[in-house]
Amino acid sequence: MRHLKAGRQLGRNSSHRKAMFRNMSVSLLNHESITTTDAKAKELRRHVEKIITLGKRGTLEARRRARIMINDKEALQKLFSTLAERFKERPGGYTRIVKLGMRPGDNAPLSLVQLVQEEVTLTPKKAAKPKKAAEKAPVKEVAAEETAAEAVEEPAAETAEEVAAEAPAEAAAEAVEEPVVEAAEEAKEEVKAEAAEEPVAESKEEAAPADEKEEGDAEKEEK
């Protein structure tokens, strides 16, 4: 099983494949369009796009690496001048594969591999994301306000319930306290009345013996 082994063997050994793709890459860079089978076209696209990426860099290191993959001076010069300028703004996708049908004789599927000619026009990024974030922010604020209002309402409801529960108890306590207070006031008044009556009685009792003594003295004098 060929697990973790990318690429097609195409019925050839490694050295044969490298030479074949090197020649096909030079032909595609020079002519900008070649016809081959579907399998070869898909594998060629991987190699050619890496080479064009090196041409876009334009550094000495990129030239040396591209020189290893391309043996033709004209193709190398075209890569770092014409093609690099053409694909300067394009972020990948330098080739196109067009299906041509079946080849007469062996009935193999054919494809046309060509370099893209159209100039790329980069569209500016949409500014919808900040709007979405701005739209989401009020929702979060409203939710926060609702939660705060609920948090305020809950203690208010609890306090109202507590007041309602305490009101009957207070009314009952007041109803019990009123007779007690009245009874205490009546007792105080009775005590005051008794205290006021006792000195009067004592004074009467003291006055009675004094009168008796005066009467006794008067009788003695008369005798």
pLDDT, tens digit (0-9, with 9 covering 90-100), for 164-181? 566 555 655 555 556 555
For residue 38, is it within any domain? yes
DSSP state for residue 80 in the 8-state scheme:
I
State how many domains the chain has: 1
What's the mean per-residue pLDDT of the chain? Answer: 78
51: domain CATH number? 3.90.1030.10
For residue 59, is it within any domain? yes
pLDDT, tens digit (0-9, with 9 covering 90-100), for 106-155? 999 999 999 998 877 767 777 666 666 555 555 556 666 667 666 656 65
C-alpha span between 81 and 49 (Å, rounded): 16
Q: Residue 100: pLDDT band by 50, 70, 90 thresholds?
A: very high
For residue 49, is it within any domain? yes
C-alpha span between 196 and 191 (Å, rounded): 9
pLDDT, tens digit (0-9, with 9 covering 90-100), for 53-85? 999 999 999 999 999 999 899 999 999 999 999
Residue 95 near residue 32, CB atoms below 8 Å: no
Containing structural domain, residue 81: 14-115
For residue 2, is it within any domain? no
Picking from 80, 27, 25, the residue whose alpha carbon sits closest to that of residue 49 is: 25
C-alpha span between 197 and 185 (Å, rounded): 18
User: What is the per-residue DSSP string for 2-61?
Assistant: -TT--S--TTS-HHHHHHHHHHHHHHHHHHSEEEEEHHHHHHHHHHHHHHHHHHHH--HH
Does the pTM surpass 0.75? The reply is: no
For residue 74, is it within any domain? yes
C-alpha span between 45 and 115 (Å, rounded): 10
For residue 142, is it within any domain? no
pLDDT, tens digit (0-9, with 9 covering 90-100), for 10-69? 999 999 999 999 999 999 999 999 999 999 999 999 999 999 999 999 999 999 999 999
For residue 44, is it within any domain? yes
pLDDT value of residue 212: 57
For residue 143, is it within any domain? no
Per cent of the chain over pLDDT 90 is 48
For residue 195, give both structure tokens.
């205290």
pLDDT value of residue 95: 95
pLDDT value of residue 118: 81
SS3 162: helix
